Amino acid sequence: MKTKTIISKIVMLFFSIVIISLIIMSGNYYEIYSGKKYGKDIISRLEQYRHSHGIYPIKLDSIDLPESQETSEVIFHGYSYIYYFMSDCEFSLSFNKKDGTWTYYSNSNKWYEGDGIDSINAFRRKLYSQYLHESRNNKERTILRIKIERKERDSVLSCNNIESGSVVYVIKKYENAGFAGKGHALYDSRTKELKQIGTWTLFTKAGLSLLAFYGSGTTNKPVIDYLQSKINL
């Protein structure tokens, strides 16, 4: 009799633990589901803004979601969201709950658990390869070469550890298509050549964009990964 009682208690304890675990899991799942659901509302507003203005807003204030000046957070339906404007047609949106962080990346149209940096950088590298392929096959060409003010020139040279040089702002376009890239370049008046320097916004033919940083070294291969510290979580 005692054995049956002990077994019965163990079975009841086991089922109690299972039920409690399921309740906790369902609560966590609901929080994640709701965070993504309300995040989708913010994403929809951002897409509407891009449709009207051609680029995403720099801050969520532009879509009537005031950001905290101290933390850059937006409280929306009880969830804390942080928006990061990455380039003209690229952003990330993150929310925090007690079980962790979830991050949405616009170019992949996906949510990632955590900061998603590894997945986002992998997608960015894929986009850059696509950009290189399309720029070669579609005869990327310079459509504007804009002279800049001396103050801006000095700032660009200083940021890129270059002592002197002629700096222009360049806009490139695909042949019979949209924009291919924009940013600063060193201009050699003797050879008429342009060398990209600093931060550039590159575009695929589909209109997806990413930032690329061109150093002042001999190679013109850019850095396209972004760092975790840039996401202010």
Domain that includes residue 71, residue range: 2-114
Asked if the structure places residue 52 within a domain, the reply is: yes
Judge contact between 71 and 61, C-beta under 8 A. no
Are 12 and 95 within one domain?
yes
Among 91, 114, 137, identify where a domain stops: 114
Are 64 and 161 within one domain?
no
Contacts of 167 (CB under 8 A, 6+ apart): 148, 152, 153, 156, 157, 184, 185, 186, 187, 197
Among 82, 114, 146, identify where a domain stops: 114
Contacts of 202 (CB under 8 A, 6+ apart): 128, 131, 180, 181, 209, 210, 211, 212
Of 74-88, 136-150, 170-184, 200-214, least confident by mean pLDDT is 136-150
What is the number of structural domains in the chain? Answer: 2
Q: Which residues pair with 88 in a beta bridge?
A: none
Are 7 and 108 within one domain?
yes
Asked if the structure places residue 139 within a domain, the reply is: yes
What is d(CA 114, CA 104) in angstroms, rounded to the nearest whole number?
10
Asked if the structure places residue 172 within a domain, the reply is: yes
Judge contact between 190 and 175, C-beta under 8 A. no
pLDDT higher than threshold 50 for residue 21: no
pLDDT higher than threshold 90 for residue 47: yes
Are 164 and 84 within one domain?
no
pLDDT, mean over the chain: 81
Are 157 and 211 within one domain?
yes
Are 109 and 133 within one domain?
no
Asked if the structure places residue 143 within a domain, the reply is: yes
Are 134 and 110 within one domain?
no
**What's the average model confidence in pLDDT over 117-121?**
90
What is d(CA 103, CA 142) in angstroms, rounded to the nearest whole number?
35
What is d(CA 97, CA 206) in angstroms, rounded to the nearest whole number?
34
Are 81 and 167 within one domain?
no
Asked if the structure places residue 121 within a domain, the reply is: no
Asked if the structure places residue 147 within a domain, the reply is: yes
What is d(CA 111, CA 32) in angstroms, rounded to the nearest whole number?
11
Asked if the structure places residue 122 within a domain, the reply is: no
What is d(CA 53, CA 115) in angstroms, rounded to the nearest whole number?
28
Q: Are strands 110-113 and 141-147 parallel, antiparallel or unpaired?
A: unpaired
Are 102 and 12 within one domain?
yes
Among 114, 147, 181, identify where a domain stops: 114
Are 143 and 215 within one domain?
yes
SS3 labels along 85-151:
EEECCEEEEEEEECCEEEEEECCCCEEEECCCHHHHHHHHHHHHHHHHHHHHHCCCEEEEEEECCHH
* Euclidean distance between the first and the last CA atom of the chain, given in angstroms as a whole number: 58
How confident is the model at residue 28, as a pLDDT? 66
Side chain identity, residue 162: I
**What's the average model confidence in pLDDT over 5-19?**
50
Asked if the structure places residue 120 within a domain, the reply is: no
Of the two residues 136 and 217, the one the predictor is more confident about is 136
Are 205 and 148 within one domain?
yes
pTM for the structure as a whole: 0.75
How confident is the model at residue 97, as a pLDDT? 76
Are 69 and 157 within one domain?
no
